[in-house]
Amino acid sequence: MISKKQKQIINYKFNGALIIKGEENTGKTTTAINRAIYLKDNYCLYENDNILVIVDSYEEKKNALEIYNRSDDLQESISLFSYIKHSLDIKTINEIFEEIQLNLHFKIASEKIKYNILEKSIDKYKKERKRAKILNKCYIEFLLKEFEYIKSNRINSIDEYKNFTRRGRKSKEVNAPKSLPKNSSIRDCIYKLMDIYYESLFREKYIDEVVMEEEMLKYIQNSPYQRYNHLIIDNLNNFSKLQFSIIKGFINRKEYSNIVVTLNPKGKKVENSLGIQGIKIKELFLDVNKIKTYILKEKFEKDIFLDKKEVLKVKDKEEVMESYKFLDIRHNLDFEFSIDTTSEDEFILDPNGSGEIIHDDELVSIPIYNDIAAGEPIMINDTCEGTVSLPQYWLKGAKDSFILKVKGDSMINADINDKDFVIIRKQYNANNNDIVAVDLDGSATLKRLSIKEDKILLVPENNKYDPIEVKDENAMIIGKAIGIIKRND
């Protein structure tokens, strides 16, 4: 039967953008289609309310239709609006584009025509940029692909292109430059050549496939084309940013509208797709008030219903994340979290529960420095070895914080072990019984501060170590420990 996690997503009372992430065979499509049925029964409030499901191939359409037909028969929920019949359309992206193109009247240039026009454009631009090595006819295939890349990513100015993080470029292309550095003359040259090329193409009354997509977007935005109250987009990572903009144009946004998308961080690499670019969820949904992300990790034999009794059969579980625990010393709280290394180190809170993603604007970056001794003091190294991002509310009131890796076992009775990471709030004084990082003549140690009437001690939390008495001004407090990060094995 459907897992508890899937049911939670399917029946979630929510309007906005709902993101379902997971690898292949984790039940994303099954969950999304069942979510569509739930929306049809509960969030299509008027007779003309409807739902569009978009998939990236005919094979995926067949799979989605099979899930839908079996799932719809099994649905037992009856809502206030069940008597109203609503449409739920399942279409491939190519079917949608073919429908729109029937309303457009442009000639698509053949490969031969594109080659010829680009050759002439190169000859024309060479007169101005004689030393530009990229203006070579051996690069024509690369240049045409680069023009498609620029437009597929909706890069609309030369400055934007020169500063754009260029991902997904295949170095094994036979005739391609070795690199395209940011703010370089080669990028400047490519973009200006592109303008010349498209001006020439339009003058000959032709467009190419990616410009056709731009025309589709204009048409959708400015025409009374059919709209849908809810959109379900399967495998969004296979679509380009331009294609996603076209798809979003189909939404007839109401207070109860939903956009549901599935993502596979390890999916196939489609040229110019969002999956290659590295998907930034908040950038895709800047116009949506609420975003909720779920992670599916259990793997199933098939992403369809097997029969009416046994819906999904667990195949295996594969962890694709680094799992940690955060111990909040100040408030005596602990949190489980994971770093999803397959999607640009996304921060996932409660990965075995709600699987909520904490987005960049809710995180704060903390520098990591060299080891600190939970044992004999070791030399301080002030070289930053990297950063880690944590939720802002975990560090409220602790702006000047940094992280040190623990080395040794002198604090094990305080649950601070070798290879743990301790979060230190920078301060130069502390109270009795605080766990502090201390500089002892250029060496650092982590101990509990004990202030007596006649002496000050740095006390270990392990009986095999003796306290260190602070007798003179050779010791300075670096900061106070406020949290511990432990790796879950």
DSSP string, 263-322: E-TTS---TT-HHHH---HHHHTTT-S-EEEEE--EEES-SS---SS----EEEE---EE
Question: Is the pLDDT at 342 greater than 80, yes or no?
Answer: no
- CATH architecture for residues 4-103+224-315: 3-Layer(aba) Sandwich (3.40)
- What is the DSSP secondary-structure string of 382-416? ----EEEEEEGGGGTT--SEEEEEEESSTTGGGT-
Question: Is the pLDDT at 307 greater than 70, yes or no?
Answer: no
- What pLDDT sits at residue 305? 37
* pTM of this prediction exceeds 0.85: no
**320 against 163, higher pLDDT:** 163
Measured from the Cβ of residue 222, the count of other Cβ atoms closer than 10 Å reads 9
- What pLDDT sits at residue 113? 96
> If DSSP codes are grouped into helix, strand and coil, which group holds residue 246?
helix
- CATH architecture for residues 324-487: Ribbon (2.10)
Choosing from 114, 162, 447, 486, the catalytic residue is 447
Of 199, 169, 197, the C-alpha closest to 182 is 169
**302 against 400, higher pLDDT:** 400
Say which amino acid occupies 196: I
Contact yes or no for 279/240 (Cβ under 8 A): no
| CA gap 475, 489 in Å, rounded | 36
Q: What letters, b where the CB count within 10 A reaches 16 and e where it falls short, cover 334-362?
A: eeebbbbeebeebbbbebeeebbbbeeee
Choosing from 3, 71, 257, 410, the catalytic residue is 410
- What pLDDT sits at residue 287? 85
The dihedral over CA atoms of 197, 199, 204, 210, expressed in degrees to the nearest 10, equals 70
**199 against 166, higher pLDDT:** 199
Q: What percent of the chain has pLDDT over 90?
A: 50
- What pLDDT sits at residue 443? 77
Contact yes or no for 406/418 (Cβ under 8 A): yes
pLDDT digits (tens, 9 = 90+) for 272-287: 898 887 667 778 888 8
| CA gap 213, 242 in Å, rounded | 7
Identical topology for domains 4-103+224-315 and 324-487 = no
Is 447 an annotated catalytic residue? yes
pLDDT digits (tens, 9 = 90+) for 6-28: 988 998 888 889 999 999 889 99
Domain ranges of the chain: 4-103+224-315, 111-206, 324-487
Average pLDDT, the chain: 84
Cα–Cα distance list, 427 to 60, 367, 480 (Å)? 57, 16, 7
pLDDT digits (tens, 9 = 90+) for 180-230: 899 999 999 999 999 999 999 999 999 999 999 999 999 999 988 889 999
Query: In the structure encoding, which two tokens stand for residue 243, read together?
Result: 């294609």
| CA gap 200, 207 in Å, rounded | 10
Question: Is the pLDDT at 312 greater than 80, yes or no?
Answer: no
